[in-house]
Amino acid sequence: MCRMTDREPIQEVNLLKILREARAGSLESNDLMVIMRPLEGEEGIKLEINSIVQNQYGDRIRETVMEVLQENRITDVYILVQDRGALDCTIKARVETAIKRGL
Helix axes 88-102, 54-71, angle to 10 degrees: 40
Q: SS3 string of 53-79?
A: CHHHHHHHHHHHHHHHHHHCCEECEEE
Cβ proximity of 103 and 16 under 8 Å: yes
- Chain mean pLDDT for the chain: 90
Annotated domain spans of the chain: 30-102
Per-residue pLDDT of the chain (103 residues; tens, 9 = 90+): 444 444 555 455 688 999 999 999 999 999 999 999 999 888 999 999 999 999 999 999 999 999 999 999 999 999 999 999 999 999 999 999 999 999 9
Cβ proximity of 51 and 83 under 8 Å: yes
30-102 CATH, one of 3.30.70.100, 2.40.128.110, 3.30.230.10, 3.20.20.70: 3.30.230.10
Summarize pLDDT for 19-41 with one digit per residue, the tens: 999 999 999 999 999 999 999 88
Cβ proximity of 61 and 17 under 8 Å: no
